[in-house]
């Protein structure tokens, strides 16, 4: 007897770690679905996803502010992508779409809804992205990373579930992890991270401040991103600079303090690993959404928020030195961060996917249909 085929789910997630990792974490909980992926050529998904899931790609881009030839080109491109995804969904007999927003969500949502298929959208930011705000009312369910996002999505069916984190963040700390970095076991550790692509301005600030932190006995692991022109700008026995690191869970678990941009993915991980932080939102992020994320953490007492435009190297250097001396304050910030964590977000999000797809999958699997 042939085994019953699993219902099929298309996941549309693309571009940055902040969009891909929550989608991967949710996919890891959906072994009862046959999953395929929708992304964009040449983005991070070609490295992170294609060895595990069949990856289909379409070209999508954002609309420019001014109307003109560029807008027309983007619109035609979008229509072409919608047709391509529609064909994929129909021929592949998919039961629905799960997306984490961003540009890829547009064609996925248009195509799915035009076929009457359910769409579940996860929005991890405190200020939902434009695509989410526009399309949320058309989704079966919109899962939110932050409760405060609800107020921007009044016409949608929303539910706060936190943001899913990868399995590495949900397993017990591995005592052999971080061996590759050969860092002191006892010294205070500062981890610097600028999102999945790194942050050159943050890197420059940190390099100016770090010598005083080394003097104070601290070590620094600095995730620089691939595009920093000054990658070898600092050398010290207590300093490790890396373009990207895969075991972020172990790194955050070990860190006494993180200095970070305020992408929703990283913030969620800092909460799950109870890591106190200094947050410097990326000032050019769409609609300044990272400041909204960081404000939630700062208001909760889990982080200190600095705007990049107002932050001098002296301010950053002294804040870190003060925090390193105030262990009780760091412990309190860690507790506040822990209070923001939703450990089972991946399971909750996966269940929302099942609930939205269930009636259709049940119909499709009835004999004779």
Ligand X SMILES: CC(=O)N[C@H]1[C@@H](OP(=O)(O)OP(=O)(O)OC[C@H]2O[C@@H](n3ccc(=O)[nH]c3=O)[C@H](O)[C@@H]2O)O[C@H](CO)[C@@H](O)[C@@H]1O
CA distances from 236 to 64, 211, 219 (A): 44, 8, 9
Among the listed residues 17, 106, 107, 118, the single contact to ligand X using CB under 6 A: 17
Q: Is 16 annotated as a binding residue?
A: yes
Q: Is 17 annotated as a binding residue?
A: yes
Site string for ligand X, 183-222 (x = CB under 6 A): ----------x-xxx-------------------------
Residues found in the chain: 369
Handedness of CA 227, 195, 47, 107 (dihedral sign): negative
| Residue 21 contacts ligand X per CB under 6 A | yes
Least distance to ligand X, CB of residue 8, Å = 26
| 3-class secondary-structure state, position 225 | coil
| Residue 248 contacts ligand X per CB under 6 A | yes
| Contact by Cβ (8 Å): 145, 124 | yes
Q: Is 360 annotated as a binding residue?
A: no
Least distance to ligand X, CB of residue 247, Å = 8
Q: Is 14 annotated as a binding residue?
A: no
Nearer to ligand X, 22 or 107 (CB): 22
Largest separation between any pair of C-alpha atoms in the chain:
74
Q: Each residue of 155-187: b (16+ CB within 10 Å) or e? A: ebebebbbbbbbebbbeeeeeeebeebebeeee
Q: Name the nearest CA neighbour of 267 among 22, 14, 5, 81.
A: 22
Least distance to ligand X, CB of residue 91, Å = 30
Nearer to ligand X, 230 or 288 (CB): 288
Least distance to ligand X, CB of residue 218, Å = 20
Least distance to ligand X, CB of residue 360, Å = 28
Restricting to residues 274-293, name those near ligand X by CB under 6 A: 282, 285, 289-290
| Contact by Cβ (8 Å): 217, 187 | yes
Query: Binding-site residues for UDP-N-acetyl-alpha-D-glucosamine, please?
Result: 16-18, 125, 166, 196, 290
């Amino acid at each position: 007897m042939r085994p019953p085929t699993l219902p099929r789910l298309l996941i549309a997630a693309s571009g940055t770690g902040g969009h891909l990792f929550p989608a991967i974490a949710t996919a890891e909980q959906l072994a009862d679905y046959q999953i395929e992926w929708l992304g964009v050529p040449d983005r991070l998904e070609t490295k992170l996803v294609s060895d595990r899931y069949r990856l289909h790609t379409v070209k999508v881009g954002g609309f420019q502010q001014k109307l003109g030839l560029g807008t027309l080109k983007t619109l035609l491109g979008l229509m072409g992508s919608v047709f391509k995804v529609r064909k994929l969904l129909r021929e592949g007999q998919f039961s629905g779409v799960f997306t984490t927003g961003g540009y890829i969500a547009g064609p996925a949502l248009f195509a799915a809804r035009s076929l009457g298929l359910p769409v579940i959208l996860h929005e991890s930011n405190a200020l939902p992205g434009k695509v989410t705000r526009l399309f949320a009312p058309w989704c079966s369910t919109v899962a939110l990373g932050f409760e405060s996002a609800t107020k921007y999505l009044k016409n949608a069916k929303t539910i706060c579930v936190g943001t899913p984190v990868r399995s590495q963040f949900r397993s017990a700390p591995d005592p052999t992890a971080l061996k590759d970095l050969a860092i002191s076991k006892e010294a205070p550790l500062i981890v610097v991270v600028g999102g999945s692509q790194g942050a050159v301005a943050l890197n420059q600030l940190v390099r100016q401040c770090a010598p005083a932190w080394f003097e104070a006995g601290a070590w620094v692991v600095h995730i620089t991103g691939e595009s920093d022109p000054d990658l070898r700008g600092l050398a010290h026995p207590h300093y490790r600079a890396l373009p990207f690191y895969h075991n972020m869970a172990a790194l955050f678990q070990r860190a006494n303090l993180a200095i970070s941009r305020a992408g929703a993915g990283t913030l969620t991980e800092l909460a799950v690993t109870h890591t106190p932080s200094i947050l410097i939102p990326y000032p050019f992020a769409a609609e300044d959404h990272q400041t909204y994320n960081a404000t939630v953490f700062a208001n909760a007492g889990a982080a200190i928020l600095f705007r990049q435009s107002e932050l001098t190297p002296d301010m950053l250097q002294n804040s870190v030195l003060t925090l390193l001396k105030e262990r009780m304050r760091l412990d309190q910030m860690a507790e506040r961060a822990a209070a923001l964590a939703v450990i089972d977000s991946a399971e909750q999000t996966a269940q929302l996917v099942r609930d939205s797809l269930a009636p259709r999958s049940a119909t499709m699997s009835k004999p004779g249909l």
